[in-house]
Amino acid sequence: MPKTTKVAIVTGAARGIGAGVAAALAKKGYAVGLIGLEGDLLRQNARAIGAQALAFEADMTDRTALGSAFEGVRERFGRIDVVVSNAGISNFDLLITMSPDHFRRVMAVNVEGTFNAIQASLPHLMESKGYFLGVASIAAALAPPGMAAYGASKGATENLLNTLRTEVIHKGIDVGVAYFCWLETDLVKTGGEHPAFTYVREHLPGPLRTIAPVELAIKAIVNGVVRRKRRIMAPGWVGWALALRWFVSGNPSAYKSQMPEIERLCAEENKKRGGPDKTMISDPLSR
């Protein structure tokens, strides 16, 4: 590999956004390290990319395994220039019945996992004066019912990355945050199996209810990585929604008439699945 080749790490790279970003960055000439839980899929993706790709099976909450994966990429390719912290999971339930274990798991993967990726990457990014991108969500701003854990985790992720940007600016490292709405990923598809999730999404106003192709996010991330962007948003209207966040976040009036039906659907689904402990939406570490 030429010494000038840039090296990117993508977490949650087994499927969805992460797998697509890893492949697209490879086409741009990057060597890529793919990190996630599903080893067979990761290795399959790496083989499809070719000799400039390497797969590591690691849980984002396992600091030792994650650190070893970063060191493995550094050892193989000689440097790390870009980290795309994409791994994430979600659940769907109301706060009154949400499983504490599910709440902790979402926060651990989405927030602690990002924190672990930051600490694993900084020694390498300081050497390369590189770029760290974390994936947040429009859920950080809109706070829809049933998505308290996911929205809180993405709000925390956003703040974590904004703070990181301030702390490393003098080291030549750039930090970006990506915001997306509903995408055609396993996380959203699995969520669609929960009737209350579907009801909430279908009753959102205008474009907020639409599901965009995952390729839109992949293209936006790759463009953002190349340009070292501070904010990445897709579809385009997400920027307007974020700008209006103080007018819509936590505003209950839009949901006042809908909440009885949402409560009923959640109760029925919890009973059907055997309780709130069984209603996790997605727990492969990928989107």
The region of weakest confidence among 17-21, 155-159, 240-244, 257-261 is: 240-244
Residue 76 banded pLDDT, cuts 50, 70, 90: very high
CA 103 to CA 90: how far, in whole Å?
Answer: 9
CA 264 to CA 266: how far, in whole Å?
Answer: 5
CATH number for the domain harbouring residue 269: 3.40.50.720
CA 42 to CA 286: how far, in whole Å?
Answer: 11
Q: Cα-flanking dihedrals φ and ψ of residue 99, to 5°? A: -65, 125
Residue 1, domain member (yes or no): no
Residue 287, domain member (yes or no): no
Residue 234, domain member (yes or no): yes
Fill in the DSSP letter of residue 208.
G
Q: Find tokens 């086409």 and name the residue.
A: 27
Residue 2, domain member (yes or no): no
128-143 per-residue burial string, b: 16 or more CB within 10 A, e: under 16: eebbbbbbbbbbbbbb
Q: What confidence tens digit (pLDDT) does each residue in 227-270 have?
A: 999 999 988 878 877 887 776 666 677 788 888 999 999 999 88
Say how many domains are in the chain.
Answer: 1
Active-site option among 150, 179, 199, 255: 150
pTM score over 0.75: yes
Residue 162, domain member (yes or no): yes
Sheet holding 53-57, edge to edge: 53-57, 31-36, 7-11, 82-85, 131-135, 174-180, 231-234
Domain that holds residue 236: 7-282
CA 55 to CA 72: how far, in whole Å?
Answer: 9
131 is catalytic: no
Residue 178, domain member (yes or no): yes
Half-sphere exposure (Cβ direction) of 116: Cα atoms closer than 13 Å: 24
